[in-house]
């Protein structure tokens, strides 16, 4: 089977979409399928990858968000699509992706749309009218003509703007590598020393972009209100335009040493923070999956999450942490109060439950089996439809 994944801005700083596309590649290659990637990128330089065709985009004629790319009309892109048995389209609101979906449809190549949370109501808050116009114009090619719309969790599928409009909707939790055993105390001491954290302080971790949907400001305020003096919150992640980073820095500076803004951390270094943490906190309005939550659980770190996070239903049913009752600030404070009052032993037990669940449900092997089944089902379903139309 030859599979082609098409996405935009597939570089590490783009976060979850990049990691998901790479996990698709690894999973399908482990099943001995041929996998190629097209990356339409606004970044001037990307890490070299012989299996990735990187094509640079411009702002005109569809503006910055639409990322115009004249190369998408060329034989290089069209040839890769024609040779594929199945195409994954990663994203929604970008012109080259819509064009590639249309090309796959024209050549009778089945394609699966992976929205990565971009059909969630929270995603429609910013640039609402532009996005709704885009969806009205392209919903046929994106939802009704695709072989399937693939969501990361049932929560994302239920909340989708396109719910009920897809020809077929399926969900598949993304795979996560389970961490090897490690000496937690050594990493705690290392992180404490690096960031000037007094001995004996327990470490809570907020890991993610400093964006409105993840509520970093509300999280800091709730933590300062509820945490005892032996806890510290480390905020790790890049700044974003919709949240003033100056306010986050000010809140941390005036928290009497209980909150620290670390800044962006990419690559293997982020694992040091997971290994040092006693608790991971992510109380976003919405997350289609949340690699941060999955990775925390994989390291045996219990999580504090909101019900809008895709993995919250699994945390509630299988253990691994604490789920807020709702999305309000008082709900945030309530679940933090509960989690921060737990003893180290109780938190370690929650971490073990979460790690065992990741091994059962999100392991690389389990994900590869499930993704391969989605691919074969999409191909067979499309062929059956075409045979019926003849």
Query: Are residues 62 and 206 located together in one domain of the fold?
Result: no
Q: Are 21 and 54 in contact (CB under 8 A)?
A: no
Token pair 């941390």 is found at: 252
Any residues with CB less than 8 A from the CB of 240 and at least 6 apart, and which? 209, 210, 211, 212
pLDDT in tens, 67-101: 788 888 999 999 999 999 999 999 999 999 999 99
Task: Please write the tens of the pLDDT for every residue from 281-298.
Answer: 999 999 999 999 999 999
- The predicted structure's pLDDT at residue 46: 62
Residues 6 or more apart whose Cβ sits within 8 Å of residue 338:
322
Mean pLDDT of the chain: 91
Residue numbers of the domain that contains 21 = 2-175+364-389
Per cent of the chain over pLDDT 90 is 74
Same domain, 374 and 356: no
Mean pLDDT of 206-220: 95
Stronger pLDDT, 181 or 221, i.e. the higher one:
221
Burial class (CB in 10 A: 0-12, 13-18, 19+), 32: exposed
Stretch (H or E) spanning 8: strand 2-8
Pair 145, 16 in one domain: yes
Lowest mean pLDDT among 128-137, 247-256, 347-356: 128-137
Q: CA-to-CA distance for 82 and 33, rounded, in angstroms?
A: 17
Q: Over 70: is that where the pLDDT of 387 sits?
A: no
- Report which of 318, 312, 263, 309 is spatially closest to residue 286, judged by C-alpha positions: 309
Q: What is the pLDDT of residues 58-67, one digit of tens each?
A: 877 765 556 7
Edge-first strand order for the sheet with 169-171 is 52-56, 34-41, 2-8, 86-90, 111-114, 148-151, 169-171
Q: What is the mean pLDDT of residues 119-126?
A: 84
Instruction: Give the per-residue pLDDT at 51.
Output: 79
Contact 232, 258 (CB under 8 A): yes
| 167 and 136 within one domain | yes
What pLDDT is attached to residue 59?
A: 76
Answer yes or no: do 343 and 211 share one domain.
yes
Residue 65, pLDDT score = 57
pLDDT surpassing 70 at residue 109: yes
Per-residue pLDDT at 62: 65
Q: Are residues 164 and 211 in the same domain?
A: no
DSSP-H helix ranges across the chain: 16-30, 63-66, 75-83, 95-106, 128-139, 154-159, 184-195, 216-226, 245-253, 270-276, 291-298, 312-318, 329-340, 344-361, 364-389
Answer yes or no: is pLDDT of 244 > 50. yes
User: Does 236 share its domain with 289?
Assistant: yes
What pLDDT sits at residue 390?
Answer: 42
273 shares a domain with 124 = no
* 117 and 288 Cβ atoms separated by less than 8 Å: yes
Q: Are residues 119 and 9 in the same domain?
A: yes
Residue partners of 60: CB distance under 8 A and separation at least 6: 68
Q: How far apart are CA 170 and CA 37, in angstroms?
A: 22
Better-scored residue on pLDDT, 123 or 222? 222
If asked whether residues 167 and 204 sit together in one domain, one would say no
The domain that holds 227 is classified in CATH as 3.40.50.2000
Read off the pLDDT of each residue in 323-344 and give the average, rounded to a whole number: 96
Q: What is the mean pLDDT of residues 297-314?
A: 95
Domain total for the chain? 2
| Same-domain pairing of 136 and 221 | no
Per residue in 36-57, pLDDT tens?
999 998 886 666 677 789 998 8
205 and 343 within one domain: yes
């Amino acid at each position: 089977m030859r599979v082609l994944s098409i996405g935009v801005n597939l570089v590490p700083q783009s976060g979850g979409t990049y990691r998901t596309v790479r996990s698709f590649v690894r999973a399908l290659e482990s099943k001995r399928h041929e996998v190629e990637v097209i990356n339409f990128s606004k970044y001037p330089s990307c890490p070299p990858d012989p299996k990735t065709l990187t094509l640079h985009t411009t702002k005109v004629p569809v503006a910055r968000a639409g990322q115009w790319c004249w190369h998408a009309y060329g034989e290089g892109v069209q040839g890769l699509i024609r040779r594929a048995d199945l195409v994954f389209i990663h994203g929604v609101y970008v012109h080259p992706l819509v064009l590639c979906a249309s090309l796959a449809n024209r050549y009778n190549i089945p394609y699966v749309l992976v929205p990565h949370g971009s059909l969630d109501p929270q995603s429609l808050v910013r640039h609402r009218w532009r996005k709704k116009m885009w969806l009205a114009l392209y919903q046929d090619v994106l939802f009704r003509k695709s072989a399937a719309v693939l969501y990361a969790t049932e929560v994302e599928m239920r909340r989708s703007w396109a719910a009920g409009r897809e020809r077929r909707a399926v969900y598949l939790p993304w795979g996560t590598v389970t961490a090897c055993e490690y000496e937690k105390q050594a990493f705690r001491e290392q992180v404490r020393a690096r960031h000037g954290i007094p001995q004996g302080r327990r470490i809570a971790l907020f890991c993610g972009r400093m964006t409105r949907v993840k509520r970093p400001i509300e999280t800091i305020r709730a933590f300062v209100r509820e945490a005892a003096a032996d806890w510290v919150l480390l905020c790790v992640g890049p700044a974003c335009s919709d949240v003033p980073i100056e306010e986050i820095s000010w809140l941390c500076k005036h928290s009497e040493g209980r909150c620290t803004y670390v800044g962006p951390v990419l690559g293997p270094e982020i694992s040091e923070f997971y290994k040092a943490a006693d608790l991971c906190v992510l109380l976003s309005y919405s997350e289609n999956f949340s690699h941060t939550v999955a990775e925390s659980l994989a390291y045996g770190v219990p999580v504090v999450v909101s019900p809008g996070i895709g993995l919250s239903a699994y945390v509630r049913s299988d253990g691994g942490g604490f789920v807020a009752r709702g999305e309000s600030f008082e709900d945030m404070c309530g679940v933090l109060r509960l989690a921060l009052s737990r003893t180290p032993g109780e938190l370690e037990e929650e971490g073990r439950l979460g790690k065992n669940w990741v091994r059962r449900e999100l392991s690389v092997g389990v994900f590869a089996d499930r993704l391969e089944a989605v691919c074969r089902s999409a191909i067979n379903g499309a062929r059956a439809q075409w045979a019926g139309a003849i």
